Amino acid sequence: MRNLRGLIMAILSSATFGLIPLFSIPLMVNQDKSLELDLDSVCFYRFLFSALLMGVIVLISSARRHAGAKSAGVILSDAFGISAKQFLLLLLISVFYASTSIFLTASYTIGEIPSGIATTMHFLYPVFVTAVMVLFFGEKFTLLKAFSVILAFAGVFFLSGASLGSGMVMNPLGLLFVLVTIFTYGSYIIGVNNIKAIAGMNGMKLTFYVLAFSCMLFMLNILVKGGTFAPLVTFHQWWNILALAFIPTLISDLTLVYAIQIIGSTITAILGCMEPLTAVLVGIAIFGERLNLSQGIGMALVFVAVYLVIMSQKGKK
pLDDT above 90 covers a percentage of the chain that reads: 69
> Is 163 a residue whose pLDDT tops 70?
no
Judge residue 248's burial from the number of C-beta atoms within 10 Å of its C-beta, 0-12 exposed, 13-18 middle, 19 or more buried: buried
pLDDT band at 7 (very low <50, low <70, confident <90, very high): very high
Does residue 315 or residue 227 have the better pLDDT? 227
Least confident span in 66-75, 120-129, 135-144, 299-308: 66-75
The model carries a pTM of 0.93
No. of helices (H) and no. of strands (E), the chain: 16, 0
The CA distance from 193 to 95, in Å, is: 16
For 117-129, write each residue's pLDDT tens digit: 888 889 999 999 9
The CA distance from 296 to 148, in Å, is: 18
Give the Å distances, CA to CA, from 112 to 118, 153, 178, 185, 247. 10, 22, 11, 21, 30
For 224-254, write each residue's pLDDT tens digit: 999 889 999 999 999 999 999 999 999 999 9
- Sort residue 46 into left (φ over 0), alpha (ψ -120 to 50) or beta: alpha
Question: What pLDDT shows up at residue 161?
Answer: 77
Side-chain-side CA neighbours of 256 within 13 Å: the count stands at 30
Question: What pLDDT shows up at residue 167?
Answer: 52
Question: What pLDDT shows up at residue 34?
Answer: 85
Check: CB of residue 113 under 8 Å from CB of residue 174: yes
> Which H, E and C letters describe 90-135, residue by residue?
HHHHHHHHHHHHHHHHHHHHCCCCCHHHHHHHHCCHHHHHHHHHHH
For 18-65, write each residue's pLDDT tens digit: 999 899 989 998 888 888 999 899 999 999 999 999 999 999 999 998
For 173-192, write each residue's pLDDT tens digit: 888 999 999 999 999 999 99
Tally of residues, the chain = 317
